[in-house]
Amino acid sequence: MSNELRQACMRIARRVRFESDDAIAPHQVSVLVHLTSGPMSPGELADRDRVTAPSMTRTVAGLVEAGWAEREADPHDGRRVLITITDRGRTALGTMRHRRDRWMFTRVQRLSARDQATLARAAEILHRLADE
């Protein structure tokens, strides 16, 4: 069963990404999402996304250039830099999420009440599972 479930989740995720044609690149989305939890250093971001430090330097530079993030010096450690998401960054992320949610909503809407209830319970279970 878990095989079917795993594949079902991946198929849904693929179609959502495929058909929502996002304005933000996947690696940028990932970093912006991390930044919604608060300011973070490039090194911390690199660890979370399992990319190298130079890659994150480039990604952060792109986000700053797009106006979606800002750099500031860490007051406690002169070596560190803190990256913060901007209001424009939050807006861009919100727009993307809205598009993706709309794709899902139009399809879930057509299901029976019973199926929708099952999916609601499944969503809760899957979130717990992803939290582990």
Q: Where along the sequence are the contacts to DNA (CB under 7 A)?
A: 25, 27-28, 41-44, 50-60, 62, 71, 74, 77-81
In angstroms, give the least distance from the CB of 108 to DNA. Answer: 29
Q: Which is nearer to a second copy, 71 or 90 (CB)?
A: 90
Among a second copy, DNA, none, the one that 80 touches (CB under a kind-dependent 5 to 8 A) is DNA
Q: In the range 19-78, which residues lie near a second copy by CB under 8 A?
A: 50
What token pair was written down for 40? 């973070």
The helix, strand and coil proportions of the chain, stated in percent and rounded to the nearest 5, come to 70, 10, 25
How is 17-48 classified by DSSP, letter by letter?
A: HHHS--SS-HHHHHHHHHHTTS-B-HHHHHHH
Helices (H), 1-132: 2-19, 26-35, 42-49, 53-66, 87-108, 113-131
Q: What minimum distance in Å lies between the beta carbon of 50 and a second copy?
A: 7
Nearer to DNA, 25 or 111 (CB): 25
Specify the residue for token string 């058909």.
Answer: 19
Among 52, 65, 78, 109, binds a second copy (CB under 8 A): 109
- C-alpha 10: how far from chain center: 15
CB-CB contact of 32 with 89 (8 Å): yes
Binding test (CB under 8 A) with a second copy, winner from 23, 53, 73, 122: 122
**Residues at the site binding a second copy, with contacts judged by CB under 8 A:** 1-18, 50, 97, 100-101, 103-105, 107-109, 111, 115-116, 118-127, 129-130, 132
